[in-house]
Structure 1
Amino acid sequence: MLRNYFKIAWRNLIRNKSFSFLNIAGLSIGIAAAALILLWINFELGFDQFHQNKDRIYEVYNKYETEGKISCWNSTPKIMAKMIRQDFPEVESVVRTGWSYNFLFSSGEKRIKSTGTVVDKDFLDVFSFPLIKGNPETVFKEVNSVVITEKLAKKLFENENPLDKVVKIDDSDHFTVTGVLKDLPSNTTFDFEYLIPWSYLKQKGWEDEYWGNNSIFTYVMLKDGVSNASFAPKIKNLREKYDKESPRMETFLYPFSRSYLYSRFENGEESGGRIEIIRIFGFIAAFILLIACINFMNLSTARSEKRAKEVGVRKVVGAEKKYIIGQFLGESVFISFFAAVIALIIILIVLPLFNNLIERQLSIDFTNPWFWITGIGIILFTGVLAGSYPALYLSAFKPVVVLKGTFKKINTLITPRKVLVVVQFTFAIILIISTVVIRQQLKKAQNRQLGYSKDNLIYTFIEGEIEKNYPLIKEELLSSGIATSITKTSAPITECWSNSWGFEWKGKPENDRTTIDRFIADEAIIKTTGLELIQGRDFNLSDYPTDSTAVILNESAVNLMKFKNPLGQIIKDNGTDWHVVGVIKDFVMRSPFESVKPMVIEGAKAWFEVIHIKLSDLKSTSENLAAAEKVFKKYNPEYPFNFRFVDSEYAKKFNNEKRTGKLAGLFTMLTIIISCLGLFGLASYMAENRIKEIGIRKVLGASVSNITALLSAEFIKLVAIAFVIASPIAWYSMNKWLNNYAYQVKISWLFFAAAGILAILIALITVSFQAIKAAIANPVKSLKTE
């Protein structure tokens, strides 16, 4: 019997080639699109899930209430780890990591810049980054030990054994390689090529016991059997005991395994994060697969007349309903399997392009049994879902009615087929509107006034001999015409590396804990970066030596401090009195989607990490960069001249939104293609069924345009109904998404009008092809059998 069913299924596929093609194409595209999304979702959900102790690892967070709002953040003071070890026997291990350090590694003639960090000695006991060489118990025993990854070992030593090799770091300290780590997996939040023991910070004098310096990350691994719920009340008041400056600040532990997906907080409570994007695309995958199944249902039931007599004959000769249902479900699963094979080929072809789009390295592991289990599950699910309605619909035909040819319902107002078309286009229109809103939000942020000029502006980090030779470097760059202006700063103009609520000024409310961004520059910061001056002047140490303790405020800081005449006002920070010499317009340093925070730009008495250079426009950029490289190599010969364009770094701030927009656009297009395949098939079948009606109308004088309008009208009505249903759903969803951004686009009715017109045009073009083809056919051919 099964063999007979397969024969019938195959013959039906061959006999109805066009409908078979549309069915298989729609299912293949749907399965391929859903599978790509599921691959990405599986990758995202796997972030930091490979650590053996993941259920016991927590990240230390702070919680503080100010102005009626509770803020949470995960940067902590260095001293906190020591106090946790000392006070809480429930804790098995406490480890810290610092910010990334981009050190220069030297081995023989090789000079390689690499990114890494400092860690406590138990780091590899807490986190499962396996060593392929070295003893995990002793790799961080000595101060000048370094653990490197396979990738860095290959760069430095090629095929030699790296253990016990000596490397020079930053042209100053010599380190011995004590271990080699397996390269980090791509689905981890950590990003390093080397690890240096925490004791190195002590040796360099970079460690402090100041509770107000929240500058590193602290992780806790609780002992077996200790729950976070029972431990939370004990660690809550840690700062009240030790931090006399911020006694009301609370400490809490947050599960490390949730950090990547959920670590966004609003008013002290977890409020989602990246998981929201994953959920959205999970729904998109489900709906794309559903739309592909709807195509199958529609096309199968549209061909019901041709299969009805077959069903009637089977019932007359004694076939039971359950066997007929089984036959049609079997045919559907067979087609689903065929479509899945084609979908797999599509995935293998497009996966590299998809990886480039999402900036991930996804792959299919054919050796993983879960791949085959999931694949078979998708095939069965798709086959049963797609074939369920046609099977029930066809098996319900009454033999007597079918064989008399009177089973068809004429001019039914609502049919399941119409409902399914509406569902298809409802989802397609929701995606179209969402894509338009995402693109407009991105465009609005990209067109936002920055408040500074990023053209011809580069920056490089201060390293090696640069600090010592800075006056000579600056003089030569300016005198040779390479640059028009240069300034030293504490951070790139596109990033905020420091902030504080400890600033003091006249009239500050006693309980004010507003965080103020801190930026530092020596002189000509306004000239170099093109900041817009409102009052006062730029830093000028030559004419005003006291500018080393001067500050420039942005508008938001002036408004916060309620200064009517800000020039000359005194602001206290870190025990120093700073006097205001200028006010600038707010400029975008953090996210372009967020509002600008109050900022204080302090003078040269503070610290510097970066040099900003405004290149001359009298020569080409390539000429200027080549000349600048010679200058830096002259005064800093051991280091390569690494620079970054400010406009390129600023553009990176849009990466997540660009990626989301591209993904939304891609899957919107696929949804439309799948929907149009189904619509094309339905229009084709409709034209075929009404061929004699069309012939009669033509004989009676109907024009091609009349017939085309007649055949298209029903589908346009369905798309219009879908638009009415989709619009409020899309409006609600996009409003909720936009609430994540302080700087957001307003949802205009034009977005909906554009989406509606586009959907109707797509449907009209799809249907009209078949309608026009039927309308221009020779009526003699369609009527000659009468």
Structure 2
Amino acid sequence: MFHSSLKIAWRLLRRSKGYAFINIGGLAVGMAVVLMIGLWVWDELSFDRSHKNHERLAQAWQMVSFDGNNGYYNSMPIPLGEELRTKYTGIEAASITSYPRDYVVMQDKKKLTLNGLFAEPDLPAMLTLEMNEGNVHALTDKHAVLISASMAKTLFGKEAPMEQAFRINDKLDVKVAGVYKDFPGNSSFNGIKFIANWSLYTQMESYAAYALDKWDENSFQLFVLMKNGVSVDQLSEQIRDIRMKRENPPGYKPQFFLHPMNKWHLYSDFTGWAKSEGLIRLVRLFAMAGIFVLLLACINFMNLSTARSEKRAREVGIRKALGSQKRQLLYQFFSESVLIAFLSLMLCLLLSWLALPFFSSITGKDIRMPLTNWMFWLALFLFTLFTGLLAGSYPAIFLSSFRPVAVLKGVFKTGRANVLSRKILVVFQFAVSVALIIATIVVGKQIQYAKDRSSGYSRDQLVEVPMYTRELYGHYDVLREDLLKTGVVYNMAQSQGSITADYGGTTDISWPGKTPGTSPLLMANRITHDFGGTVGWKLVKGRDFSRSFSTDTSAIIFNEEAIRVMGLQDPVDQVVRYSGKDYRIIAVAANIIKEDPFKPVKPTLYTLDYRGVNSVMIRIRQGANMQNALARIEQVFNRHSPSSPFDYKFVDDAYAAKFAAELRIGRLAGFFAVFAIFISLLGLFGLAAFMAERRTREIGIRKVLGANVLQVWTLLSKEFILLATLAFVIAAPLAYYFMNQWLDNYSYRIQISVWIFAIVAICIVAVTVFTVSIQAIRAALMNPVRSIRTD
């Protein structure tokens, strides 16, 4: 029975090639979209699942409340690790670590910049590292280091890496005690090339040694492994007030909680104590969008199948008259739809293979089809079967319900219900397309709005060079002099970290008129002379730091937001007390965007300090050849810092990276919109062609009676234009509501303007008119004699 049903279905497809092309093409595109978005969703949902303990691993965070505002930080005091290990029975292991960053690794004549981490000995076992050589407990040796397989290959080539020695930042001598398999791309630890013993970090970094027993020094990460069956929520509740019980910090309230590894990637935006949302919203949104695109393709199949019902009616009537039961007819029609779905699958796989590189560039991931995974093929088979059954469900039920007597007598009519349902489905298709187009435009406008926002400094020709070793400290002035002599450097300065990020804050500040009991958090930045001239910041009031004033070591500059928060009037020359020392305000700087360009700038202070800096800012002269300029700058750096590689980054590139998440949303929305429109128009084209064919005789009679081309075009196009207009009327307010909700996540946002809807309305009607006109004009120009003779 199955074989004969497929043979009949195949013959029908060969007989109706246009119908088959539209249905197979539409379904293939819809299935390809779902396949690609499914691979992306799976990659996102499987993040960190490569760690066998992912359900028991957690990272310590704290919510700090001050002045009615909450801040969330994963910076912990070192003593908290020992406290959790020894006093809480629900914790199996805990490990304090540094933050991962780049270090200079030297071995013989090789000099590399690699990302690394310093951790207490339990971390490798907690992460269930897959060891190629050695074991996960090797960090009990003070000078031991575990390296990744890729680092072993890069550093030692074909030599055996075990027991090999190398040097970190020209300070630490370490020995390879194990080689682990590189972390996968969908791991939070991806890119970490080595893990070294924690005690080495305290030996290298004086602030870490100072903080060993300090509860108020929050500069480190803490990971914990919970025992089986322990609730992360209950454990978070137990550790919540550890800091408050030890001390009562004035003006703010720190509360600890544990953030489970399962939520690190998708739930990273905290909305309250131990509560979070995040990327999961995007995953849900685009998973739903993928389903809608598939529905559009299925709707095409339903519409064209039911529109052709009159052609299949006689077949159904004869089958029923010969004794076929409804169950057998349903089986036949479902066989046809499933056959079309599996034919679509072959085209779907080809389209996906061709489109995946482009789709990967949109998502920022290397997404591939797991062709060797049998689960993938099983899921694909079930998905295709489901698609075929879904697409064929309404046509099968509709066609199998025909009454044979009415059909064979020639009095069969499809009925208003069928026509109405077809119109509803067309409206749904266009409504989804309209909503996606509006969403794409709104996201694009929001991104451009933030890009047009003044960053507060000049990013053009600005380069940052990190200071990995101490070689540049103490003779920076000589380096500066030599760089300026090259003629390619306009100005330069040092700063505490990158200008595109914040590094630490303080509440230890008081000023005249400060309200007792309040301690606002201000970002603190150490800079050197010429910082303002190098980055091109703007001073609203006062003067910049200057070598002409020896007292500037006790001078301070605030940004506009800090002055607003502090409530200072005429701030210049007022004295504030910061970190136990008096400083005189010499200027107010315009706000500089260092973090999220969609959020308000944080209150920030700047002090002159040549000791606490670790980055060199260089302004290259306008008109200089960039490649030549960087080569000359590298020569000077290599003379002054021979043990450190010359790594640099362009500030405008780092700033552009801040828009990556929003750009991804916009590109994905555009991706869906393009395919939604394509599928909708493909279905509209097929439906218009069928309607024109169905009314061929009527058109011929009308032309004989004097109808012109415009009247015939109006006859065939009017209904579709009305349906497209109705779809816009339904979709526009819904799109406005949901996009307004999305924009509410941003402090710095656009207002959705009317012109967006006007443009979309014009475009949707225009493409509808164009698509339908192809068939309408073709029918209108047909010879009326041939039209009247058409069966």
> TM (normalized to structure 2)?
0.96
Distance 2:140 2:415 in 1: 85
Counterpart position of 1:440: 445
User: Structure 1, residues 111-135: CA drift from partner, whole Å, max 9, x if none?
Assistant: 1110111111000121122111112
Amino acid paired to 1:720: T
Q: CA deviation at 1:411?
A: 7.2
Counterpart position of 2:597: 592
Counterpart position of 1:706: 711
Amino acid paired to 1:182: K
Q: CA deviation at 1:595?
A: 0.9
Assess if the C-alpha contact under 8 Å between 2:721 and 2:769 holds in 1: yes
Corresponding position: 1:228 with 2:232: yes
User: Structure 1, residues 450-483: CA drift from partner, whole Å, max 9, x if none?
Assistant: 1111111111011332224321110122233221
Assess if the C-alpha contact under 8 Å between 2:473 and 2:611 holds in 1: no
Equivalent of residue 667 in structure 1, options 672, 680, 699: 672
Counterpart position of 2:139: 140
SS in structure 1 opposite 2:723? helix
Cα 1:84/1:785, change in 2 over 3 Å: closer
Counterpart position of 1:454: 459
Assess if the C-alpha contact under 8 Å between 1:144 and 1:175 holds in 2: yes
Q: CA deviation at 1:186?
A: 0.8
Amino acid paired to 1:187: N
Counterpart position of 1:172: 171
SS in structure 1 opposite 2:317? helix
Distance 2:72 2:478 in 1: 45
Moved more, 370-379 or 180-189: 370-379
Q: CA deviation at 1:65?
A: 2.8
Q: Counterparts in 2 of 1:362-761, with a 5 A limit?
A: 362-409=367-414, 415-464=420-469, 465-540=471-546, 542-604=547-609, 607-761=612-766
Q: CA deviation at 1:410?
A: 6.9
Assess if the C-alpha contact under 8 Å between 1:263 and 1:270 holds in 2: no
Distance 1:689 1:449 in 2: 60
Distance 2:253 2:414 in 1: 74
Distance 2:253 2:558 in 1: 29
Counterpart position of 1:150: 149
Amino acid paired to 1:454: R
Cα 1:757/1:270, change in 2 over 3 Å: farther
Q: CA deviation at 1:529?
A: 0.7
Counterpart position of 2:290: 285
Counterpart position of 2:92: 92
Amino acid paired to 2:518: D
Assess if the C-alpha contact under 8 Å between 2:104 and 2:468 holds in 1: no
Distance 2:62 2:166 in 1: 38
Amino acid paired to 1:657: E
User: Structure 1, residues 219-268: CA drift from partner, whole Å, max 9, x if none?
Assistant: 11122233234433321221023344368422122222112111212243
Amino acid paired to 1:213: E
Assess if the C-alpha contact under 8 Å between 2:559 and 2:605 holds in 1: yes
Q: How many residues align?
A: 784
Distance 2:234 2:567 in 1: 45
Counterpart position of 1:188: 187
Corresponding position: 1:770 with 2:775: yes
Distance 1:778 1:128 in 2: 77
Identity %: 37
Distance 1:68 1:90 in 2: 32
Counterpart position of 1:19: 19
Cα 1:475/1:785, change in 2 over 3 Å: closer
Distance 2:563 2:731 in 1: 46
Corresponding position: 1:326 with 2:325: no
Counterpart position of 2:246: 242
Assess if the C-alpha contact under 8 Å between 2:697 and 2:790 holds in 1: no
User: Structure 1, residues 269-318: CA drift from partner, whole Å, max 9, x if none?
Assistant: 62410000000001011101111100110111111111110000000011
User: Structure 1, residues 334-380: CA drift from partner, whole Å, max 9, x if none?
Assistant: 11111112111221222222222212122222333321221122112
Counterpart position of 2:303: 298
Distance 2:233 2:593 in 1: 40
Distance 2:178 2:475 in 1: 36
User: Structure 1, residues 727-760: CA drift from partner, whole Å, max 9, x if none?
Assistant: 1211121111112111111111211222222211
Moved more, 699-708 or 387-396: 699-708
SS in structure 1 opposite 2:141? coil
Q: CA deviation at 1:645?
A: 0.9
Cα 1:229/1:585, change in 2 over 3 Å: closer
Amino acid paired to 2:184: P
Q: CA deviation at 1:396?
A: 0.8
Distance 1:502 1:469 in 2: 31
Counterpart position of 1:210: 214
Q: CA deviation at 1:618?
A: 4.6
User: Structure 1, residues 512-532: CA drift from partner, whole Å, max 9, x if none?
Assistant: 232211122111221111111
Counterpart position of 2:263: 258
Amino acid paired to 1:198: W
Assess if the C-alpha contact under 8 Å between 2:258 and 2:274 holds in 1: no
Assess if the C-alpha contact under 8 Å between 1:547 and 1:604 holds in 2: no
Assess if the C-alpha contact under 8 Å between 1:50 and 1:128 holds in 2: no
Unpaired segments of 5 or more residues in structure 1? none
Moved more, 737-746 or 694-703: 694-703
User: Structure 1, residues 635-671: CA drift from partner, whole Å, max 9, x if none?
Assistant: 2223322111111111111111111111110111011
SS in structure 1 opposite 2:19? helix
Q: CA deviation at 1:413?
A: 9.9
Counterpart position of 1:46: 46
Assess if the C-alpha contact under 8 Å between 1:71 and 1:267 holds in 2: no
Distance 1:420 1:269 in 2: 44
Distance 1:441 1:583 in 2: 29
Distance 1:71 1:454 in 2: 29
User: Structure 1, residues 65-112: CA drift from partner, whole Å, max 9, x if none?
Assistant: 333344333221222212222322332111122122311112222211
Distance 2:259 2:498 in 1: 30
Distance 2:422 2:549 in 1: 80
SS in structure 2 opposite 1:55? coil
Assess if the C-alpha contact under 8 Å between 1:549 and 1:605 holds in 2: no
Q: CA deviation at 1:178?
A: 0.8
Unpaired segments of 5 or more residues in structure 2? none
